[in-house]
Amino acid sequence: MTTTTFRIGGDLGVHRLGFGAMRLPTEQGAAREASVQVARRAVELGVTLIDTAHLYGGGANEELLAEALHPYADGLTITTKVGIARSADSGEWGLDGRPEALREQVEHGCRRLRVERIELLQLHRIDPEVPLAEQLGALRELQVEGKVGRIGLSEITVAELGRAREIIEVVSVQNRYSVLDREHEPVLAACEAAQIAFLPWRPVAGAVSGATAQIAAVAADLGATPVQVSLAWLLGHSPVILPIPGTARIDHLEENLAAARVQLTPAHRDRLDRLAEQV
C-alpha cells in the first residue's frame, strides 16, 4: 500500500502529491484571476505542499500565492527557493549564492508570502563561484534567527549532497526526475537511505517514441491517463518521493491529483520500471 503522507525533516507532515506553482500566470487580469482559482482549488483538493521560487517572476509568483491563499490553511506549507537573481546591470538571471544575496531573497520571500518564517527553504542551485560553506552557512544563520525552518537543495549530485550534509541538515532535494528521466536515481537512493524528501521537478514524462506508447497502454488498462500513470509510478517508486506537478488549468490540476487513487499492478509497475532502459 502506497503511503500518502511524508514528514519532511521528520516533523513537517505533508501529503505526498503536491503542486508546483511555476506555471501560474501572474500578470494582472483574467489570467491572474484564473491562477488564484487554481491555487485555491489545489488546497480544496487536499494539497498541503506548494512549491514556488524567487526566480518565478522575481517574486511575483510568491505574491500571487499569498494573494490567493493567505491566511494559510492549517498544515499548508509553501516552499520557496533562493539563489538565482537578476543582474542589476544586464537584467539577466544567473546564479547568486553570495550570503547577502541569499539573505535579501529570504527576507523578500517572507514579505511577499506574508510569513515570518519560511518553513522549507531550498537553495535553487549551488553557485560554483561561492564556497559551499558560505552559501549554506548563510542559510543556517537565517535558520538560527528563526526566518527559515528547514533547508533543502536543488539540482545536486550525490557528492554535493554529502558535502552539504557535513555543514547543515538537509531535509529535501529537488532534482529533475520522472519515469522516463532517471539520471538522478543515485541521488534518489541517497535521499531514501537518509529519509530526505525528494521533490522531482518535471515529474510527468515527456514525449519519447515507444516509451510513451507503453505508458499510454498501461493507462488504457487502468482507465487512467498517461499523466496519472506517470505520477502513480513516482508515488510507488520510493516513499520519499513528493511529486509537485504544475499546471495553470483546474481540469489538469484535478487530473494530476486523482493520480493518488491510481493503483498500478506489479505487472504494470515492472513494465514501467523497464522503460528507462529503452530511453
Residues 6+ apart with CB under 8 A from 35: 24, 25, 26, 64, 68, 248
Give the C-alpha separation, 5 to 228, whole Å. Answer: 18
Residue carrying the nine cell digits 519560511: 118
Element (H or E) spanning 162, and its range? helix 158-165
Residue 119 phi, psi dihedral angles, 5° rounding: -65, -35
Q: How far apart are CA 5 and CA 268, in angstroms?
A: 23
Q: DSSP states of 200-226 as a string?
A: -BS-S----TTHHHHHHHHHHHHT--H
Concerning whether 56 is annotated as a catalytic residue, the answer is: yes
38 in Cβ contact with 7 (< 8 Å): no
Catalytic residue among 6, 19, 56, 201: 56
The catalytic site residues sit at: 56
